[in-house]
Structure 1
């Protein structure tokens, strides 16, 4: 019984530290309200849109060695290994930008792909979807939370220093769950 009460307390403290979806949306509405086709949001980590994803020459000039396409197979985002050739390591996530789409199974594999790129000497990664504000932004936020131990709010603030983002409500709920699980895990290690 004491274990159950302790688990409820742990769950409650994690929830109290993670803002509601509405509070997260208020944070997302603040600050920078525009973005470019591509913005560097973390050292050697670029977040952008489909326009930039189709410009292989511009990506080559930027030194991009890895591409994570969060809209793989969608009409507007046809990226593939064949499209980028042998000089770019490509990974595609077939996500729909819909609140009902479960993006959470892709959080850890995408974070691992980003981390693998960023720990390779001289590598740069471009993460994109159609507009570069919801699907791809959610995967970048998850990466910062998983590998750099940012809270969801701190990850949002970090990315928003350089790019306007706005994950849909479903993705925000999934990121909140990730945040609470990571907090719970860090508390259990203390």
Structure 2
């Protein structure tokens, strides 16, 4: 497939925004958006009892080190594996440099018997949603539009325009890559 075909099959940011605006515009503190993969906000993430009640074994914090985000390996203790991404919810922030490591963390967690993953940021709609979408694209081989629609079935999400552009670039790269194999992706995808 030529690069132009891949670009033609990838929705524009404007088209993605129209899809994201549709449907409900509110959400729970946490929702299961893929089997054993939960997307949530810091209310649930900062409550160890809620994390325990959900049976979470792995936490990916897309707001690591940011105000009001208590998450860390020490916060959750030895029963929960922790991965922090120090992302800003800004259209100029390059979240794509964390796509592969975050998607790998989620994938490895789901490979563990009984593994349950919570991915969160402050509100659970932009940074964390973007990382969940990149996981679905990289490891579940979903095109960007399919990933967005799948997550939207379970949770309202709204990645900022900069993150949508980064996901579009990833989508085009995956579409042009022969066989869409995730293992051969460079770390900077």
What TM-score, normalized by structure 2, do the two folds share? 0.93
The structure richer in helix per residue is 1
In the alignment of these two chains, the number of paired residues is: 181
Select 2:167's aligned residue among 168, 172, 175.
Answer: 175
Map 1:14-163; keep pairs closer than 5 Å. Answer: 14-163=6-155
- List runs of 5+ in structure 1 lacking aligned partners: 1-8
Residues 178 and 188 (structure 1 numbering): CA distance in 2 closer, same or farther, change over 3 Å? closer
The answer to whether the Cα contact below 8 Å between 2:60 and 2:117 also exists between their aligned partners in 1 is yes
Q: Determine helix, strand or coil for the equivalent of 1:140.
A: helix
Q: Determine helix, strand or coil for the equivalent of 1:47.
A: strand
- List runs of 5+ in structure 2 lacking aligned partners: 182-189
Residues 188 and 98 (structure 1 numbering): CA distance in 2 closer, same or farther, change over 3 Å? closer
Whichever of the two has the greater Rg, that structure is 1
The answer to whether the Cα contact below 8 Å between 2:20 and 2:157 also exists between their aligned partners in 1 is yes
Q: Which runs of 4+ in 1 moved over 6 A?
A: none
The answer to whether the Cα contact below 8 Å between 1:32 and 1:161 also exists between their aligned partners in 2 is no
What CA distance in whole angstroms lies between the structure 2 residues aligned with 1:105 and 1:115?
A: 17
Q: Which residue does 2:4 correspond to in 1?
A: 12
The answer to whether the Cα contact below 8 Å between 1:21 and 1:169 also exists between their aligned partners in 2 is yes
Q: Determine helix, strand or coil for the equivalent of 1:22.
A: helix
What CA distance in whole angstroms lies between the structure 2 residues aligned with 1:41 and 1:183?
A: 23
What CA distance in whole angstroms lies between the structure 2 residues aligned with 1:95 and 1:187?
A: 30
